[in-house]
Amino acid sequence: MIILPALASIMLIILEFWLIASFFVFLFFLMLIFFRDPERKIGKDIVSAADGVVDYVKKNNDWLLISVFMNVHNVHVNRAPINCKALKVSRKAGGRWPAFLKRSEKNSRATLIFQTEIGEIRVIQISGVFAWRVCPYVRKGNIAKKGQRIGIIRFGSRVNVWLPADKVKCMVVPGQKVLAGETTIAEVVN
């Protein structure tokens, strides 16, 4: 009869081991999915800087703002929307509000200002509730080709692209799925 409690104890230890091991395997695959960085076929005109869903499109004075919300399952590597040269790269610490809320405008961010053939554009990487870090890859003076990787938001959340409104025509609508480097978000107008 002593064998049964010992066997039950061993079975419990094995079960605990498998539960813990399963958790770490799940975590490993989650990280593998999250940090993937596939090659992309570069789209025409001005392309999306992020994978995700177009959250909103606004005309703000002389600017056209296209905001893309990235979900956990999206690729979080950001790409240059057009051939450009980095004029300024700045970072600002902030909160950790969910990126779909208005108050996420106070979250940590990196602002990348580029000179392009259509004038100055801005790409703003905004962290979210689970975002650990906004990591721009470019520095002042760097040249980036359209579709080139310009940064990543680790576990992150939103990318806003500001374009000169008089030089572009918007090609996306809220709710539309976009892929960084592939999906055309705007066309250059003459």
Average pLDDT score over residue span 2-30: 85
Q: Which residue in the block uniquely carries the two structure tokens 């057009």?
A: 82
Residue 176 has a CB neighbour count (10 Å cut-off) of: 15
- Position 121 pLDDT exceeds 70: yes
Please, which pLDDT band fits residue 146 given cuts at 50, 70 and 90? very high
Please, which pLDDT band fits residue 100 given cuts at 50, 70 and 90? low
The H helix count followed by the E strand count for the chain is 1, 14
Look at the alpha carbons of 129, 102, 140, 53 in this order and tell me if their dihedral is positive or negative.
positive
pLDDT of residue 98: 62
Average pLDDT score over residue span 131-159: 87
Under a CB-based contact definition with an 8 Å cutoff, are residues 155 and 126 in contact?
no
Task: State the catalytic residue, choosing from 48, 108, 127, 157.
Answer: 157
Tokens at 144, concatenated: 């980036």
Q: Give the tens place of pLDDT for each residue, 157-166.
A: 889 999 999 9
Tokens at 90, concatenated: 């700045």
Tokens at 190, concatenated: 């003459």
Phi then psi dihedrals of residue 126, to 5 deg: -120, 130
Please, which pLDDT band fits residue 12 given cuts at 50, 70 and 90? confident
Question: pLDDT > 90: what percent of the chain?
Answer: 61
- 46-188 folds as Glucose Permease (Domain IIA) (2.70.70)
Give CA–CA dist 85/40, Å, rounded.
21
| Residue ranges per structural domain of the chain | 1-34, 46-188
Reported pTM: 0.82
- Residue 9 is among the residues annotated as catalytic for this protein: no
